[in-house]
Amino acid sequence: MKVLVTGGAGFIGSFIVEEVMDRGWEVIVVDDLSTGNLSFVPEGVSFYNVDICSPSLEHVFLLHNPDVVIHQAAQVSVEFSNHHPLKDCEINALGTLNILKLCAKYNVSKLVYASSAAVYGMAKEVPLTEEHNVLPISFYGLSKYTAEQYIHLYHKLYGLSYTILRYSNVYGMRQNMHSEAGVVSIFVNKAINNQTLTVYGDGSQTRDFIFVRDIAKANIQAAQYSGSETFNISTNQPISLNDLIVELQKSTNHLLEIDYKSARTGDIKDSYLSYELANHLLEWEPQTSFESGIKETIAYYQSLVKIEKFV
Ligand SMILES: NC(=O)c1ccc[n+]([C@@H]2O[C@H](COP(=O)([O-])OP(=O)(O)OC[C@H]3O[C@@H](n4cnc5c(N)ncnc54)[C@H](O)[C@@H]3O)[C@@H](O)[C@H]2O)c1
């Protein structure tokens, strides 16, 4: 099987590339390296530094004729989207549309799309299921949802098979610690450098933190799923920032200094998502406990610090 991974040099995409390779499938990566890192792409992978919005993306489809496209490339910052909605829409909605057009033209048998819990907006009840109202409260949530709607129409009009995965909060190795997306990687890095952690609010706000390898495995199941469906990919477990801090203190053996600041307006208080549908139809469930995921993440960032010191 030939699998094209867009955003394959990114945090999540690079783990998907590894999973695809483990199965002996051929993998092709498209990434413009805007936030990705070429060193995350394993050797031997066909790599194209191409913008998903560009007409030259067609060359990749023409050359490789992929069976499956796993589409991860995106503008991923909520804050950026709210300051630059046009650019966010261009990459996330129009970039996806460019991919859809090529999937239809080159008879791709499955599109797997990385969507987000951000499409739901404020949770009316938890756990959030796929039936919950969709009412994004950021331009990022809106552009991710707009792409979902284009996918639905490509399925209806052209028979393109899709699997949409709405991820909860993903954490793990290789996450860009400078982006606002990854509170875990930011806290892990501060913790191993003995720096103060800043918490907005009292730290009781919860998130559904899911380990990156579990996300990658869900993409593999999604690539092989014969139906066309939308799934939450999550742990169904609320974990508060205070829980995260306790876990970090345990794993690093440090008493961490915490600076509690007043809550930011617009921040979501509690969020966790049910993955029952994915469990039922994709035969997928998360395998990694929060404790072991955090331990592996800390070990990864500690090894980077050691390399930096050595160099
Ligand atoms: N990290 C999370 O918690 C999370 C949660 C929900 C959904 N998602 C989705 O998962 C996907 C992967 O996100 P990530 O966290 O790995 O972020 P990331 O920034 O590490 O990965 C995105 C990748 O896409 C590439 N890219 C960006 N714009 C591009 C363009 N125009 N053309 C080609 N490549 C481009 C970047 O260089 C990067 O390698 C995204 O679609 C994101 O919306 C992530």
Could you read off the pLDDT of 260-311 as tens digits, one per residue? 999 886 677 888 999 999 999 999 999 999 999 999 999 999 998 776 665 5
Mutation choice for ligand 1 from 5, 12, 102, CB with most ligand atoms inside 8 A = 12
Exposure class string for 51-77: b at 16+ Cβ within 10 A, else e: bbbeeebeebbeebebbbbbbbbbbbb
Give the type of residue at 52.
I
CB-CB contact of 87 with 75 (8 Å): yes
| pLDDT computed for residue 270 by the predictor | 85
CA torsion 21→22→25→30, rounded to 10°?
A: -20
Centroid of ligand 1 to alpha carbon of 6 (angstroms):
9
User: How many CA atoms lie less than 13 Å away from 210 in the CB half-sphere?
Assistant: 30
SS3 category, 132: coil
Decide: 208 in ligand 1 pocket, CB within 6 A.
no
CB-CB contact of 288 with 229 (8 Å): no
Mutation choice for ligand 1 from 33, 69, 72, 81, CB with most ligand atoms inside 8 A = 72
| pLDDT computed for residue 269 by the predictor | 81
- Give the residue whose CA is nearest to atom 8 of ligand 1: 116
Backbone angles phi and psi of 303, in degrees to 5: -65, -35
Decide: 76 in ligand 1 pocket, CB within 6 A.
yes
Total residue length of the chain: 311
SS3 category, 50: coil
CA distance 224 to 303: 35
| CA angle (118 as vertex; 293, 80 as ends), nearest 5 | 95
Q: Distances from the Cα of 2 to the Cαs of 32, 46, 68, 97, 233, in angstroms?
A: 20, 11, 6, 21, 24
Catalytic status, residue 140: yes
Return left, alpha or beta for 236; rule: phi > 0 is left, psi -120 to 50 is alpha, else beta.
left
SS3 category, 73: coil
| pLDDT computed for residue 94 by the predictor | 98
Centroid of ligand 1 to alpha carbon of 125 (angstroms):
28
Decide: 199 in ligand 1 pocket, CB within 6 A.
no
| pLDDT computed for residue 129 by the predictor | 98
Query: What one-character DSSP code corresponds to residue 270?
Result: B
Active-site residue identified among 48, 113, 120, 140: 140
Decide: 12 in ligand 1 pocket, CB within 6 A.
yes
- Give the residue whose CA is nearest to atom 28 of ligand 1: 74
Decide: 13 in ligand 1 pocket, CB within 6 A.
yes
CA distance 162 to 37: 27
Decide: 10 in ligand 1 pocket, CB within 6 A.
yes
Please choose, from the candidates 11, 82, 76, 12, the residue with its C-alpha nearest in 3D space to the C-alpha of residue 265.
82
Per-residue pLDDT of the chain (311 residues; tens, 9 = 90+): 999 999 999 999 999 999 999 999 999 999 999 999 999 999 999 999 999 999 999 999 999 999 999 999 999 999 999 999 999 999 999 999 999 999 999 999 999 999 999 999 999 999 999 999 999 999 999 999 999 999 999 999 999 999 999 999 999 999 987 665 589 999 999 999 999 999 999 999 999 999 999 999 999 999 999 999 999 999 999 999 999 999 999 999 889 999 999 988 667 788 899 999 999 999 999 999 999 999 999 999 999 877 666 55
Which domains occur in the chain, in start order? 2-120+127-171+209-233 (3.40.50.720)
- Give the residue whose CA is nearest to atom 41 of ligand 1: 72
